[in-house]
Amino acid sequence: MTVTAEAPIIGEHVDGIDITVVNERAVRASAGLLFLGGIVAFMVAALTDDFQPLRMFGAAFMVDMILRLFVGTKYTPSLIIGTLLVWRQRPEWVGGAQKRLAWSFGLGMAFVSCGVMGFLDIANGFTLALCALCLGLLFIESAFGICMGCDLQRMFARTKSELCAGDTCTYVPPKRGERHTVLTPGDRRQ
């Protein structure tokens, strides 16, 4: 009897890497797509006081996060589209554990935002503030590659983060006033 390893829900196994990983480029592309849809719905709500598009976006965002966390990253619409958009680029593999925390945080924010908009009927200003926070985090992820979940994982997890986006879990920037030293390909051979 042979035992086969079950495919991971979040991420995939890549030769030479011991942990499950996610393509950061596809994640950033999907964050950009979600931000685009969210900012359009947010602006409609803020300018016209019609919250229906924002409710629909909130529900779609929540479904996207649920699919990422509980069904698998291979079956999430925004990640599928993001992967197609960056298919010609070399993947930047990041740890799946950090993304799991980030997406759990996003799902929690979606539940709170949808609850505020749908069931609690809280003031529109509070709803817009919550959505602005979520959209801000999506923008930071897509534009700058900064993942709040990854930062939280690095600060509070019992185990050390591996394969962080932009190599932030192992890179030590120079102190203020010190110069960066950039090696050219010829310098590395020496």
Question: Looking at residues 37-55, what average pLDDT do you find?
Answer: 93
**pLDDT tens, 63-92?**
999 999 999 888 999 999 999 999 999 998
Per-residue confidence band for 190, with pLDDT thresholds at 50, 70 and 90:
very low
> Where are the chain's structural domains?
21-172
Whether residue 99 contacts residue 54, with contact meaning beta carbons closer than 8 Å, is answered with no
pLDDT on residue 183:
60
pLDDT on residue 85:
95
**Phi, then psi, of 181 in degrees rounded to 5:** -105, 120
What residues pair up with 12 in beta bridges, in sequence order?
Answer: 21
pLDDT on residue 154:
76
